[in-house]
Amino acid sequence: MAYTQPIPLLDLKAQYAPIREELRTAMDRVADAQVFIGGPEVEALEREVAAYSQTQFGIGVTSGTDALLVALMAIDIQPGDEVITTPYSFFATAGSIYRLGATPVFVDINPTSYNIAPELIEAALTPRTRAIIPVHLYGQMADMDPIMAIARRHNLIVVEDAAQAIGAEYKGRRAGSIGDFGCFSFFPSKNLGAFGDGGLITANDPALAHKARLLRNHGAEPKYYHKLVGGNFRLDALQAAVLRIKLKYLDGWTAARQRNADRYRQLFAEAGLADNAECRMQNVELNTRHAIRDTQYPIILPTDGGYGRHIYNQFVIRSSRRAAVMAALKERKIGHEVYYPVPLHLQECFAGLGYRPGVMPESERAANETLALPIYPELTEEMQAAVVAAVVRSL
């Protein structure tokens, strides 16, 4: 019998139920200790996430946005500086640059991975360029070797925006371990999500890590003696305690997301809507990338770049008939989301930067064609079949 119940984009209640008692015990432990800011829970989480991410240091902060902001403050980004990044990301990526008076300089994406195209970066450099922020979007890491080579040649800092990519890998190296800083989000919808906002910075340089620690607490060392002007970017102990419990389950959840991604590929291929081999295209050259848009199939599935572990924070399809697909999913009460409908270079608040429609063609196409489907670990085969059936009816 076909599955007929509503299917949410994400079901946090399903995640919570089997670990409810562990989580409540951890929160009670914090309540009993009455240590709510910093303390042993935060310090333990920092060590555990740093180890998980193959880095030396972890610095807990208030959110993924503040992780980016603190990282940029730690490298002394100033008004007039330029930071290279992608226009196809959540607003915080460019917003953190702009908040410090610096200028985000956008470089278009690879249309198969949705991550920044390294071969386009060097042309965007100027004498004012100070850093590069690659975004590991949807759970797949950007092509980091050429990005790091460019940074070394031009003496630039690399800040990995790994908000959607905890545990993702590039040639055996974890997200957040390759650049000078890694920035993570623990927003509840992330693969490792808190019970509210939270974030963490990773680093391997002890001086940079120490500076980030100072900046998250008003630059004070010791208390009331301020070496720098920072801010209040401290992670709550309650969130750290929740995240420490969830971290134990993260690899299992990731494996379930990967299985669900493989099942989607199989179901879409069986329905004749996509090519299971095509969606695994690897390392498509710039001058042949248009081929993926010329496919005979109405749906293009997420690609595996061949670099390593994809954690599927989102499962994002693309179609020139997106509106019809969304209407069918809505009618069937199946959750879905457009990430991101307006690329950053076309956001109203960045109009002064002078970008115009058409200058970032791949980002603009992605904004018009992409659609996220449910991919959470608790999704069943029957639920996925219902999702695919709804898409079939729309085309």
| Residue 287: band (very low, low, confident or very high) from pLDDT cuts 50, 70, 90 | very low
pLDDT at 13 over 90: yes
Q: Among residues of the chain, what percentage have pLDDT more than 90?
A: 91
Cα angle 167, 173, 174 (rounded to 5 degrees) comes to 20
pLDDT at 290 over 70: no
Largest separation between any pair of C-alpha atoms in the chain: 67
Residue 224, token pair as written in the block: 């009331």
Helices 237-247, 40-52: axis angle to 10 degrees equals 40
In this prediction, residue 2 carries a pLDDT of: 84
In this prediction, residue 275 carries a pLDDT of: 74
Q: Average pLDDT, whole number, for the chain?
A: 94
In this prediction, residue 277 carries a pLDDT of: 55
pLDDT at 293 over 60: no
Q: Please count the other Cβ atoms lying within 10 Å of the Cβ belonging to residue 28.
A: 11
Q: Among residues of the chain, what percentage have pLDDT more than 70?
A: 95
151-192 per-position pLDDT tens digit = 999 999 999 999 999 999 999 999 999 999 999 999 999 999
pTM: 0.94
67-96 per-position pLDDT tens digit = 999 999 999 999 999 999 999 999 999 999
344 near 92, Cβ under 8 Å?
no
Rounded Cα–Cα distance for residues 262 and 323 (Å):
25
In this prediction, residue 39 carries a pLDDT of: 95
* Residue 386 burial (10 A CB sphere; 0-12, 13-18, 19+): buried
pLDDT at 395 over 90: no
pLDDT at 6 over 60: yes
Rounded Cα–Cα distance for residues 30 and 341 (Å):
40
Helices 381-394, 322-331: axis angle to 10 degrees equals 130
223-233 per-position pLDDT tens digit = 999 999 999 99
In this prediction, residue 286 carries a pLDDT of: 34
Task: Please state the three-class secondary structure of the chain as a single string.
Answer: CCCCCCECCCCHHHHHHHHHHHHHHHHHHHHHHCCCECCHHHHHHHHHHHHHCCCCEEEEECCHHHHHHHHHHHCCCCCCCEEEECCCCCCHHHHHHHHCCCEEEECCECCCCCCECHHHCHHHCCCCEEEEECECHHHCCCCHHHHHHHHHHHCCEEEEECCCCCCCEECCEECCCCCCEEEEECCCCCCCCCCCCCEEEEECCHHHHHHHHHHCECCECCCCCECCCCCECECEHHHHHHHHHHHCCHHHHHHHHHHHHHHHHHHHHHCCCCCCCHHHCCCCCHHHHHHHHHCCCCCECCCCCCCCCCCCCCEEEECCCHHHHHHHHHHCCECCECCCCCCHHHCHHHHHHCCCCCCCHHHHHHHHHEEEECCCCCCCHHHHHHHHHHHHHHC
294-336 per-position pLDDT tens digit = 557 889 999 887 889 999 999 999 999 999 999 999 999 999 9
In this prediction, residue 295 carries a pLDDT of: 59
pLDDT at 288 over 70: no
In this prediction, residue 297 carries a pLDDT of: 81
326-385 per-position pLDDT tens digit = 999 999 999 999 999 999 999 999 999 999 999 999 999 999 999 999 999 999 999 999
197-214 per-position pLDDT tens digit = 999 999 999 999 999 999
In this prediction, residue 306 carries a pLDDT of: 83
